[in-house]
Amino acid sequence: MAGIKDVAVRAGVSISTVSYVMSGKRSVRNETKIKVMQAARELNYFPNAGARMLRGERTRLVALSSPMSDETAYGDWSPFFFGVARRLRHYGYDVLLLMGEDENEDLVRMSDSGLVDGVLLLDVAMSDPRARAAKTSRVPVASIGCPDDLDGVYAVDLDFEQMGEMAVQKLMKTGHRHVLFLGANSHAYEQGVNFLIRTRDSVRICAEKAGMRLTCDVIDTGDADEMECVVERAFASDPRITAVLGQVGLIAMSNLKSALQSRGYDIPKDISVIQLGAFGQASVMNPPLDEIPLRPYATCARAVDVLMEIIEGKRRMSEQGTKELIAVKYLSRGSVHDVSKGV
């Protein structure tokens, strides 16, 4: 097992500098701190966890960094939390939830404390300061979600690029060339919500490559009145729309269906619908909708597995970070009608 001398040699600094970085007892330039932590990560040297491992004294705790705010959708959040907690129990670990809105302070405090063996990041934005802070973490960090800056982080996420591509391919194969893409609240995109942006961008890119005309809109509340307006705008922009890709929840999808029916469009006879990035519950709709859902339990389980491999010394962290994507699944329920023979 690598020691502090090995880290000092690789980083090109003194042993005392490594000690200061690891203990936090003295101030060290950020550039030096990053260099030392990168060397430690390459050598799989994490002093707090390493010392406890030698004495058989792991904390058996993993911190889950998941900042909360008034805008947090707890119903959407809970499958990810319980996915993490359930998988950690498989390893005999408990989860310590960090909910503070000052996510950087929480992350640094926990990694410095020696109270946890590792950290998981949840609800990761495209540009996320926690991912940048992970470069200097004294314990391993894994991310559920792929930030733009992967340095020092092992990121696990669903393949949202594949989600967008799969949706476009499904519609193209069934003859749909004029499609409405209905996105979530515009504020969510502005905040950098990871899966929304990546799926939307993938849909746009794939539609353009395929020669599909894509009409894009977003919702605010998704209530009945708003959906009436959305449908009116969409068909005013392109009267030839034959399909909808909905990146919205069940209530909004139900109101969308009602708005379409009020214009004489029945699903799937007159218009096809696919729901993207929800929780696999569109089977309760009447009629049931095709969807490509999130997979919170699979994603969280894999992220926990990776973090445990790092903690146990079975996997080394890359200086550049690593991204691992989990394949999406298409749930076919009959809401996509093949119009190719009529095109």
What is the reported pLDDT for 225?
97
Which run of H or of E encompasses 143? strand 141-144
Residue 112 has pLDDT above 60, yes or no: yes
- Which residues fall within 8 angstroms of residue 75, CB to CB, at 6 or more apart? none
What is the reported pLDDT for 342?
59
**DSSP per position, 225-289:** HHHHHHHHHHHHH-TT--EEEE-S-HHHHHHHHHHHHHTTPPTTTT-EEEEESS-S-GGGSSS--
What is the reported pLDDT for 132?
82
- Which residues fall within 8 angstroms of residue 69, CB to CB, at 6 or more apart? 101
Residue 113 has pLDDT above 80, yes or no: no
Which pLDDT band, with edges at 50, 70 and 90, does 226 fall under?
A: very high
Span 160-292: which CATH code?
A: 3.40.50.2300
Which pLDDT band, with edges at 50, 70 and 90, does 53 fall under?
A: very low
Residue 271 has pLDDT above 60, yes or no: yes
Token readout for 80 is 């990810």
The mean pLDDT value for 134-148 works out to 88
- Residue environment code for 316-330, b if the CB has 16+ CB neighbours within 10 A, otherwise e: ebeeebbeeebebee
Q: Domain residue spans in the chain?
A: 4-54, 61-158+296-326, 160-292
Picking from 65-74, 92-101, 139-148, which range would have the lowest pLDDT averaged per residue? Answer: 65-74
Residue 86 has pLDDT above 70, yes or no: yes
Average pLDDT for the chain: 90
Architecture of domain 61-158+296-326: 3-Layer(aba) Sandwich (3.40)
CA distances from 328 to 2, 148, 237 (A): 39, 21, 31
Picking from 18-27, 46-55, 250-259, which range would have the lowest pLDDT averaged per residue? Answer: 46-55
What is the reported pLDDT for 27?
78
The mean pLDDT value for 254-277 works out to 97
Distance CA 136, CA 31 (A): 10
**DSSP per position, 186-212:** HHHHHTTBHHHHHHHHHHHHHHHHHT-
Residue 3 has pLDDT above 90, yes or no: no
Residue 115 has pLDDT above 90, yes or no: no
CATH class, domain 4-54, is: mainly alpha
The reply to whether 160-292 shares the fold of 61-158+296-326 is yes
Distance CA 122, CA 296 (A): 11
What are the helix (H) ranges across the chain? 4-11, 15-23, 30-42, 47-55, 74-90, 103-113, 129-133, 160-173, 186-190, 194-210, 224-237, 250-262, 296-311
What is the reported pLDDT for 343?
47
DSSP letter at 312 equals: T
- Which residues fall within 8 angstroms of residue 178, CB to CB, at 6 or more apart? 212, 213, 215, 238, 240, 241, 242, 243
Token readout for 325 is 């994507």
Is the whole model's pTM more than 0.75, yes or no?
A: yes
Assign 26 to helix, strand or coil. coil
Distance CA 155, CA 147 (A): 8
Distance CA 307, CA 156 (A): 10
Percent of the chain residues topping a pLDDT of 70: 93
Which pLDDT band, with edges at 50, 70 and 90, does 54 fall under?
A: very low
Dihedrals φ, ψ of 193, to 5°?
-60, 120
Distance CA 137, CA 141 (A): 7
